């Protein structure tokens, strides 16, 4: 029993150490971005792109905040701006879908990079897919005149103490939660392997993974990322990448899929609170993500290996 606990703790540490090496410095970088006003500059750059997706230009600042910090940062700016900007339910759903697919880039892209993907490739993958889906969703809602009523938001940002000490304490608590969840995932993974549930999960996911062109070895970690979040799914993928149990293409496209379609419970609830439509942010986004990855996997089959390792993946 003690040996089993020690083994689980060691495995948790092995996952957390490379993950925290990324998270801790990136948390500091994000704080600097917020304090120096660089997020506002990014918002101005993104303003013209908002019109492609049918959103008011002001929403560029909200998306920039989500990209540079995290999804909650984007939601807080949105909740502040929406008081003075007329937004429909359709527009809110488009905005919510875009920040669900592209947020927290300083942290999440570095985590993906640790698993072997090239930073620029995953940046373009997630940013491009968010923009494409946002534009398509906007056309869909306008063509069928759906959800054109004014949005009603249920979320208003809470006022928090804005001191360096309170910020540091909050981030330390968040890292503690991440470590605890990873520990729980390691325990569950061992139990699931013991009782054969991993094989059952692989069997259930086989049709979906086959459609996307991703190998069965990625089933469990993809499910973890899809339900809980990219941080946890990527943490497991980093471990699998080091063990060599997943192919490099499976790692890239599994991370790509998780990047645009992860944490489907918590994140969906948050977006519903700002007035987004469930069918758009959950069902349509999932369908788009699966088909988008499936198309890219099949297109990648024809590219030379040299190109894959030059532009998409680091051959470690």
Between 34 and 17, the more confident residue is 17
pLDDT at 184 over 60: yes
pLDDT at 213 over 80: yes
Residue 158 lies in a domain: no
pLDDT at 262 over 90: no
Across all residues in the chain, what is the average pLDDT? 85
Determine the pLDDT at residue 252: 93
Between 278 and 233, the more confident residue is 278
Residue 156 lies in a domain: no
Kindly report the pTM of this predicted structure. Answer: 0.82
Determine the pLDDT at residue 199: 72
Structural domain count of the chain: 1
Q: Which domain holds residue 131?
A: 2-148+164-312
> How far, in Å, CA of 270 to CA of 26, rounded?
23
Residue 154 lies in a domain: no
> How far, in Å, CA of 185 to CA of 246, rounded?
19
Confidence of residue 207 (pLDDT cuts 50, 70, 90): confident
Confidence of residue 27 (pLDDT cuts 50, 70, 90): confident
Q: What is the mean pLDDT of residues 226-236?
A: 73
Residue 153 lies in a domain: no
Q: What is the mean pLDDT of residues 307-311?
A: 94
> How far, in Å, CA of 186 to CA of 179, rounded?
11
SS (H, E, C) the chain: CHHHHHHHHHHHHHHHHHHHHHHHHHHHHHHHHHHHCHHHHHHHHHHHHHHHHCCCCCHHHHHHHHHHCCHHHHHHHHHHHCCCCCCEHHHHHHHHHHHHHCCCHHHHHHHHHHCCECHHHHHHHHHHHHHHHHHHHHHHHHHCCCCCCECCCCCCCCCCCCCHHHHHHHHHHHHHHHHHHHHHHHHHHHHHHHHCHHHHHHHHHHHHHHHHCCCHHHHHHHHHHHHCCHHHHHHHHHHHHHHCCCCHHHHHHHHHHHHHCCCCCHHHHHHHHCCCCHHHHHHHHHHHHHHHHHHHHHHHCCCCHHHHHHHHECCC
Percentage of residues in the chain having pLDDT higher than 70: 94
Residue 239 lies in a domain: yes
Q: Give pLDDT tens digits for 113-171.
A: 888 899 999 999 999 999 999 999 999 999 999 999 999 887 655 555 668 888 888 88
pLDDT at 273 over 80: yes
Residue 35 lies in a domain: yes
Residue 258 lies in a domain: yes
Determine the pLDDT at residue 239: 75
Determine the pLDDT at residue 86: 87
Q: What is the mean pLDDT of residues 204-222?
A: 80
Residue 60 lies in a domain: yes
Least confident of 45-59, 122-136, 194-208: 194-208
């Amino acid at each position: 029993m003690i040996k089993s606990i020690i083994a689980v703790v060691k495995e948790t540490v092995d996952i957390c150490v490379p993950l925290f090496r990324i998270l801790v410095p990136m948390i500091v970088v994000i704080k600097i971005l917020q304090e120096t006003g660089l997020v506002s500059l990014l918002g101005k750059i993104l303003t013209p792109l908002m019109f492609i997706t049918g959103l008011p230009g002001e929403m560029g600042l909200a998306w920039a905040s989500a990209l540079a910090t995290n999804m909650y940062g984007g939601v807080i700016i949105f909740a502040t701006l929406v008081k003075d900007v007329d937004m429909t339910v359709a527009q809110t759903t488009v905005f919510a879908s875009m920040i669900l697919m592209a947020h927290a880039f300083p942290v999440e892209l570095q985590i993906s990079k640790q698993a072997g993907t090239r930073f620029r490739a995953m940046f373009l993958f997630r940013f491009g897919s968010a923009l494409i889906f946002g534009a398509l969703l906007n056309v869909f809602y306008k063509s069928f005149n759906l959800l054109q009523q004014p949005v009603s938001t249920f979320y208003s940002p809470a006022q928090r103490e804005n001191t360096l000490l309170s910020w540091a304490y909050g981030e330390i608590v968040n890292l503690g939660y991440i470590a605890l969840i990873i520990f729980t995932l390691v325990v569950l993974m061992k139990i699931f392997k013991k009782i054969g549930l991993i094989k059952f999960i692989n069997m259930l996911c086989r049709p979906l993974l086959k459609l996307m062109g991703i190998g069965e070895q990625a089933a469990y970690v993809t499910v973890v990322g899809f339900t809980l979040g990219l941080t946890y799914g990527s943490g497991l993928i980093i471990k699998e990448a080091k063990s060599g149990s997943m192919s490099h293409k499976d790692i890239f496209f599994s991370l790509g899929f998780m990047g645009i379609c992860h944490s489907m419970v918590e994140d969906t609830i948050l977006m519903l609170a700002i007035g987004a439509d469930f069918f758009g942010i959950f069902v349509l986004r999932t369908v788009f993500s699966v088909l988008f990855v499936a198309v890219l996997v099949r297109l990648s089959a024809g590219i030379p290996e040299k190109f894959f390792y030059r532009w998409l993946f680091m051959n470690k």
